[in-house]
Amino acid sequence: MSKKSDGKVLAQNKKASHDYFIEDTYECGLVLTGTEIKSLRLGRANIGDAFATIRNGEAFVHNMHISPFEQGNRFNPSDPTRARKLLLKKVEINKLLGLAKQEGYTLVPLKVYVRNGYAKLLLGLGKGKKQYDKRDTAAKRDAQRDIQRALREKQKVAR
């Protein structure tokens, strides 16, 4: 029996690396209802404003928008931004609960993808960046880009 290959990234939170220092990541499953998986596979998901919480020993993602499936039926969920349960082991949930209670830490969804036919969410433990941290990161990125450009030009001249 052949193993299903890893799918493409369906939704990505590009703003997360700009706003947070991502210290650790966790892969968790998503509990979806009705035709949400069909809509997700079409790339109709947005996790830009999403965040995760832990309540009563269960993890949930909030404000993750999955548009209703156009050819859907009566099983289409009525609220596209409803809270969706995350599938994590109890040990991971307890660890995340302890880490997220620390000052300045939050649980940030980084990307949604399909692995072996199941919808997965990459959850990151992030510490919020201050404004000067964001400027410092941008300055380092620009400096690295200038260095790479100079090296490429030097290699062109050497040929």
Per-residue pLDDT tens over the stretch 2-48: 444 456 888 899 888 888 889 999 999 999 988 888 888 888 889 98
Average pLDDT, the chain: 86
Q: Which helix (H) or strand (E) segment is 156 a member of?
A: helix 131-158
Q: Are 125 and 105 in contact (CB under 8 A)?
A: yes
**Among 62, 56, 64, 53, which Cα is nearest to 96's?**
53
Q: What is d(CA 141, CA 159) in angstroms, rounded to the nearest whole number? A: 28
- Predicted confidence at residue 1, as pLDDT, reads 41
Position 35 scores a pLDDT of: 84
The tokens for 62 are: 């909030």
User: What b/e readout covers 63-100, taking b as 16+ CB neighbours within 10 angstroms?
Assistant: ebbbeebeeeeeebbeebebebebbbeeebbeebeeeb
